[in-house]
Amino acid sequence: MLSISEFSEMCHLPAQTLRYYHREELLVPAEVDDRTGHRSYRFEQVERAMLITVLRGTGMSVSSVKQALREPEGARESLRQHIAAVRQQRQEQDAAISDAQEFLRGAWPQVHQRHTPAVTVVSRLVPRRPTGTGREAWVEDDLAVMETVRNLVAVAESCGARVSGTAWRALADETPEQKKALLSGEGPWWVVKVPVTADRRALATLAEKAEVGLFPACDELSILIPGRPSMAKYGTALSRLLRQPLHGSYLDVGRMRHLLHDDGVETAAAIRSAARDEAAKIAQTL
């Protein structure tokens, strides 16, 4: 039999870790002295300690390691799932590092004003709703939106249309039915729009497979936040846009759109003239 200090030295595991593994029933000593509480191990337990150390070295939790050892037939699948989670975490860390480097260079995203010309667009609702919460929901949203963009681009090109600009997403509240579904929480939440140029024949064919419409010309404020979208980044973009002074005008946040660039998401909203809107209301009452 080996004392805990001898077993600790042999396995390169601190005695405190061995006590913790004992409490978690991951590596139970062969004997425990009822009077002194001293733990003793058999030499054969070195093999189990080695396997635990290898699995823990991958970053697996104690509970996951315990399950893998308790159910050897499922150990490979547990490890495969853990590896996938680690790779996903590394991708998120790489993205966060890239964001941090971009922001800490001192080149903070700035708001720009521009005139956006009218353009023909094809639209499609994003069919899936996120099932997770927080960051998971944003990731699911992003994947579903980009999948819808790819499908819509493929449909447009198959009909002879040419993509003429950056695709964007907006809240799916353009019709009474969409607003009702959005408010009820049933969704869909997003609609994707892809700007295209096409002749009449191509547009007619495309109209049979997707919604075709016109995005009207307008003046906009926009800001590009680098990296993957998140609630914090969306809040930052909205805060920056709303702080811009607009004399005699206002920002139509209800018609905000998110342009999907390779290096980030650009949030844009149309500038409306308060005087022009008031004149339109008066004209409607006459």
Q: pLDDT tens digits for 125-134?
A: 998 665 656 6
Does residue 114 sit in helix, strand or coil? strand
- Of 41-55, 144-158, 182-196, the one with minimum mean pLDDT is 182-196
Q: Please state, as a whole number, how many other Cβ atoms lie within 10 Å of the Cβ of residue 285.
A: 5
CATH 1.10.1660.10 segments of the chain: 2-76
pLDDT at 171 over 70: yes
The DSSP code sequence of 178-207 is HHHHHHHT-S--EEEEEEEE--HHHHHHHH
Average pLDDT over residues 17-28: 94
Mean pLDDT across 182-190: 79
Question: Cα dist. 55→18, 49, 208, 261 in Å?
Answer: 15, 10, 55, 40
Per-residue pLDDT, 276:
62
* Residue 93, H or E segment: helix 75-104
Rounded to whole angstroms, how far apart are CA atoms 194 and 173? 17
What's the mean pLDDT when you consider all of the chain? 87
d(CA 127, CA 140) in angstroms, rounded, equals: 12
| Rounded mean pLDDT, 70-89 | 84
Whether the per-residue pLDDT at 233 is higher than 60: the answer is: yes
Report pLDDT for 133.
Answer: 61
Mean pLDDT of 25-47: 93
Q: How confident is the model at residue 284 (pLDDT cuts 50, 70, 90)?
A: low
> Is the predicted pLDDT of residue 87 greater than 60, yes or no?
yes
Q: Quote the CATH superfamily of domain 112-285.
A: Regulatory factor, effector binding domain (3.20.80.10)
- Judge whether residue 285 has pLDDT over 90: no
Q: What is the mean pLDDT of residues 2-31?
A: 94
- Report, in this order, helix, strand and coil percent for the chain, each rounded to 5: 50, 25, 30
CATH architecture designation of domain 2-76 = Orthogonal Bundle (1.10)
Q: Give the integer Cα–Cα distance in Å for 97 and 208.
A: 44
What is the DSSP secondary structure assignment for residue 217, as one 8-state letter? P
For residue 101, pLDDT over 70 is answered with: yes
Give 269's DSSP letter: E
Where in the chain are all domains bearing CATH 3.20.80.10? Answer: 112-285
239-256 mean pLDDT = 90
Residues 6+ apart with CB under 8 A from 193: 121, 122, 123, 167, 168, 169, 170, 215, 257
Mean pLDDT for the stretch of residues 41-63: 92
Beta bridge partners of 192: 124, 169
DSSP state letter for 73? G
- SS3 call for 236: helix
Q: Is the pLDDT score of 199 beyond 80?
A: yes
pLDDT at 223: 95
Whether the predicted pLDDT of 277 surpasses 70: no
Predicted confidence (pLDDT) at residue 159 exceeds the cutoff of 70 = yes
Q: Which two tokens stand for residue 159?
A: 């009909």
pLDDT surpassing 60 at residue 89: yes
What value does the mean pLDDT take over residues 263-283?
75
Q: Look at residue 14 in the predicted model and tell me its pLDDT.
A: 94
Degrees, nearest 5: CA angle 164-166-168: 125
Is the model's pLDDT at 91 over the cut of 90? no
Residue 278 has pLDDT above 60, yes or no: no
What would the mean pLDDT of 54-72 be, rounded to a whole number?
Answer: 88
15 or 107, which is more confident: 15
Give the pLDDT band of residue 241 (cuts 50, 70, 90).
Answer: very high
User: What's the token pair of residue 57?
Assistant: 């070295």
